[in-house]
Amino acid sequence: MRAVVQRVTRSQVTVDDKVTGRIGPGLMVLIGVEKEDGDKDAEYIAKKIAGLRVFDDDEGVMNLNITDAGGEVLAVSQFTLLGDVRKGNRPSYFAAAAPEEADKLYRKVIDLLEARGINVEEGVFRAEMSVDITNDGPVTILLDSHKLF
């Protein structure tokens, strides 16, 4: 499972001209699920998102996690994170999980974050979405449950 985590001052996702999720300060998280992923991968990603110390403390040092900072999460499923362009320029999505399995594990990440008391807003699974992101910093972190990076 992969995730791109961006610290934001605000973010929102729109589907068919309707806002489906909106947050103020917090984390915008794009999540891609691989074929071989399971519950352990979702648990790893949720734990990392919740624990990332990317918010400034009183001394201006990135030392606070999302809960400490009182932030929210906007989660969006994004299978294109699994795009492989090592052979040519057209991405191959062979590694991406089937939609049913991807949705199940994407939902598990959200459930695990909410179980930690984090407010999570969402996009719409498999929908064409418009995502507005105001990256703060900018701070962008890449996560991979298989620890490829």
79 is catalytic: yes
What gap in Å lies between CA 125 and CA 32, rounded to an integer? 11
Catalytic residue (choose from 6, 67, 80, 140): 80
Residue 80 bears catalytic tag: yes
Question: Using CA atoms, how far apart are residues 62 and 1, in angstroms rounded to an integer?
Answer: 25
Given the residues 6, 12, 55, 78, select the one marked as catalytic.
Answer: 78
Given 6, 14, 79, 140, which residue is catalytic? 79
Q: Which of 29, 21, 25 is nearest to 109 (CA)?
A: 29
Establish whether 6 is a catalytic residue. Answer: no
Which are the catalytic amino acids?
A: 78-80
